[in-house]
Amino acid sequence: MQHNFLYSVEREYTQPMSRIWEAWTDAAQLEAWYHPTELKNVPGSSISEPEVGGMWAIAVDVPEYGFQSCFWGTYTAVEPGKLIEHTMFYSQDLAEFAAKDLSGEFAKIVVDFEERPTGSWVRFTQYGELPEEHIPMAKAGMESYFQSLADYLA
């Protein structure tokens, strides 16, 4: 499977790296913010085992269209306060989400972190395959997730 660069989103936050890292790696905190600003996560859907081979998962409720966007995968690299890499599978099928099958096509996600004098910087990069016309929507979606993180941290 090709893992071509698709897009990246980056943002600075005023909080220290320890706070940002916890928000990205603690399952309860991930469930509180890892969704577009206008949506919420499915309660109890979040998993985060931030070690190589550990599982992560989250489901976002999309009531306007009557489905859930389900994401899951495994961590492939974890350097506390610096880097998270993981696979990302996607489905709108709750049975597939419950099974969390790790075969088939997936995206590669790289999240870089950097402590800065004024706070913390984060960059989310997605690699994989998407139709060209879907890339701007995926990027805009992740920008909304970053805003949800800012709102959660405030």
**The model's pTM:** 0.95
Angstrom distance (rounded) from CA 52 to CA 58: 18
Give yes or no for residue 1 having a pLDDT over 70: no
Single-letter code of the amino acid located at 121: W
The per-residue pLDDT for 72 is: 98
Which pair of tokens denotes residue 103?
Answer: 């075969």
Measured in degrees and rounded to the nearest 5, phi and psi for residue 54 equal -70, 155
CATH superfamily, domain 4-153, is START domain (3.30.530.20)
The per-residue pLDDT for 15 is: 97
pLDDT in tens, 128-143: 999 999 999 999 999 9
Single-letter code of the amino acid located at 47: I
Domain ranges (residues) in the chain: 4-153
The per-residue pLDDT for 3 is: 87
CB of 130 closer than 8 Å to CB of 105 = no
Cα radius of gyration rounded to whole Å, the chain: 15
Share of the chain above pLDDT 70, in %: 99
